[in-house]
Structure 1
Amino acid sequence: MSSHSGKAPAQTVVTVAIDAGGTFMKGGVLENGVLLPEPYLEQPSRSEADAESFIAHFASLIIRLAGAYMSGSGTTEHGVTFRIGTAFPGPFDYERGISRIRGLSKYEQLYGLPVGDLLKKELRRRAWLPGSDPWMQTLANADMAFGNDAVLFGMGAAKRYPGERLLCLTLGTGLGSVFMDRGRAVSGSDGVPASGMLYAETFEGAPVDGQFGRRGVLALADALQARRQGDDVIDLAAAAARGESAALQVWRAYGERLGRMLRPYATAFRPDRLILGGQIAKSLPLFGASLAEALQPVRPPVLYEDDLLRQVFYGADMLFG
């Protein structure tokens, strides 16, 4: 006698999550909302390539991830529902999957193109090639969604603090940001800019994005005459860790400036936590005290998230509700 009730077996929902950075594309797989330790793949982004070559490159990563999952899971193509969630740098029309990137020395050839539609077309083309695995047709019909990498980071972090208000920053090449209220991104209220992000806001007469990413740290070091020729952010962090006073001054000044920039937004939004991710955030021990002091009278706990990519992948999964 059969042990099941005649109902169709539950579908396994598989999200192929991609972080499309300017230098590398990184991908992982979530099964029913849980990030799997494998597969994890990384490849050069080829962000300088023409559109056709980039789309083919992008599709190859998705297929490799899906293939690795299918070969290891034992699931048939009839038992899986694929979704493809991608963190893509802005400016980008995330609702329609259209790139608006121009003048940033990456993904220039995608400007104005429907990246999502082109990617689906390429996946469908490959799915019908002779000898293609049957699951590739399922993959070609996957729902697809795009999100800003900093926003997806915040969405992933919000899974850990679902009932709280969070101000999440990614500090790396530039400054990414998102204001989260109980799992939802906020924009245009409670002191949050209409865009929901800080990168285009001004601080002391200049855009925020250029002041608190890599360029900003190096410019601050130059202004304080604390940088040797050829030094980068990692060298300034190492010098400060060795106790060199000039480098320590750079990081104290960085934290103080970051706190003063954030203070009006934090005062209005009142986050329960300030969560930092990205390469520069690794140096939080060097600038955390001056940041906290400059934020006063607001006193949110300041946390460093050491696995930004994990949170981005969870955020990519959450794009589908």
Structure 2
Amino acid sequence: MKQPILGIDIGGTGIVAGVLVDGHLEEVRSIPTPANESQEVVLNAIAEFIEGFMHHDLLGIGIGIPGLVDVENGIVLNLSNIPAFQHVHLREFLENRFRKPVFINNDANCFALGVQKYGVGRPYKNLVGITLGTGVGGGIVINGHLYSGVFSAAGEWCSAPYLDHDFEYYCSGKFFNQVYKEKPKTLAKKAEKGDLIAIRAFNEYGKHLGALIKHILYAFAPEAIVLGGSIRKTYPHFQESLFESLKDFRYPQVIQRTKILISELDETAVHGAVALVEDEVEIIPAVK
């Protein structure tokens, strides 16, 4: 048996946590994020949430956040949609409170590590994870280990210039909201009924996502690229145009070897937060 590990995904609207016990994620719970409150209020909300899991003999606590992190020192430099959460010594605060080791990283990095350790990415040592939702996030796993870069900023293709905006504008929900004035889920339902405008929206989206994937292939040529986030559920509607856009990639042998996979885990960021701990701490058998 292995000691339980607590994984936490802190977002702008909600905080989700679960405990990995014997390889299975259990007690998955969530609370609303007090996003517009003071830093002290947010910290106390996180601590009180964690308190509810302390009946476990935890090996450690892993945390994923949508922002930049000083990984080495456990400092959250910023957190998207939580204005007061800037330059927060989160590791120090939680370790002093709970006397457990705490590890923090960007949530997209956690996603990539989560799918490599627990999801469809398990057969591959080198992969890139892309989260497709309100925004676009990216994470890189090299030889089975997460590559975070400076301040956990590796894989931030979302901000790279593309056409008249950036990749996030064209590869996230912003594309559907701004260009077609609809949510991806709504357009998917219309596409299923044969709506031509909805079908065109997903065809265009697949081409844009294909352009992003080509950038990733030129830089890393990973064994697998795993798509996550809410938009992954609409994959059947843009799969064809995505692969069509990859046909002009200069190295067809690379395309043939690279697997494009869809994450089957709904709480991958929590799994990834757990994996942060497993990567850093020697697993000690639980004392009976």
TM-score, structure 2 normalization: 0.83
Are 1:13 and 1:31, in contact at CA under 8 Å, matched by a contact in 2?
A: yes
The amino acid that maps onto 1:200 is S
Identify which of 86, 96, 113 aligns with 1:155: 113
Tell me, in whole angstroms, the C-alpha distance in 2 between the residues paired with 1:147 and 1:208: 22
Mapped to 2, the partners of 1:205 and 1:290 lie a distance apart of 21
1:85 aligns with 2:50: no
The answer to whether structure 1 residue 170 and structure 2 residue 131 are counterparts is: yes
Is the counterpart of residue 235 in structure 1 residue 186 in structure 2? yes
- Post-superposition offset of 1:307: 1.4
Q: Against the structure 1 CA distance between its residues 272 and 220, is the aligned structure 2 distance closer, same or farther, given a 3 Å change threshold?
A: farther
- For the Cα contact (< 8 Å) 1:162–1:183, is it kept in 2? no
Letter in 1 for 2:271: Y
3-state SS of the aligned residue for 1:307?
Answer: coil
CA contact (8 A) 1:24 1:43 kept: yes
How do 1:104-119 and structure 2 match up within 5 A? 104=80, 106-119=81-94
Deviations 1:109-155 (A, max 9, x none): 1212212223344x3xxxxxxxxxxxxxxxx1100010111111111
* 8 Å contact kept, 1:41–1:65: no
Of 179, 193, 197, the match for 2:140:
179
What residue is the counterpart of 1:317 in the other structure? 274
* 1:212-227 alignment, distance < 5 Å: 212-221=171-180, 227=181
Q: Which runs of 4+ in 1 moved over 6 A?
A: none
Where do residues 144-293 of structure 1 align in structure 2 (5 Å cutoff)?
144-159=102-117, 160-186=121-147, 195-221=154-180, 227=181, 231-293=182-244
State the 1:266 CA deviation: 1.0
Query: What is residue 285 of structure 2 aligned with on the other side?
Result: none
Hey, what does 2:12 align to over in structure 1? Answer: 22
Q: For 1:81 and 1:186, how far apart are their aligned partners in 2?
A: 25
Cα distance 1:115–1:302, how it changes in 2: closer, same or farther (>3 A)?
A: same
Q: CA shift at 1:205, angstroms?
A: 4.2
Q: How many residues align?
A: 265
1:101 to 78, 94, 114: 78
| Distance in 2 (alpha carbons) for counterparts of 1:108 and 1:117 | 20
Pair 1:59-2:34 in alignment: no
Query: Are 1:35 and 2:32 an aligned pair?
Result: no
2:282 counterpart residue number: none
CA RMSD of aligned residues (A): 2.2
Residue identity matched to 1:61? F
- 1:317 CA drift (Å): 2.2
Amino acid at match of 2:73: R
TM-score where L is the length of structure 1: 0.75
Quick one: distance in 1 between partners of 2:123 and 2:87? 36
Between 1:279-288 and 1:256-265, the stretch displaced more is 256-265
Counterparts of 1:280 and 1:220, CA distance in 2:
16
In the alignment, structure 1 segments of 5+ residues that lack a partner are 1-9, 71-79, 124-139, 189-193, 222-226
Q: 1:224 aligns to what?
A: none
Name the structure 1 match of 2:286: none
State the identity as a percent. Answer: 26
Q: Which has the larger radius of gyration?
A: 1
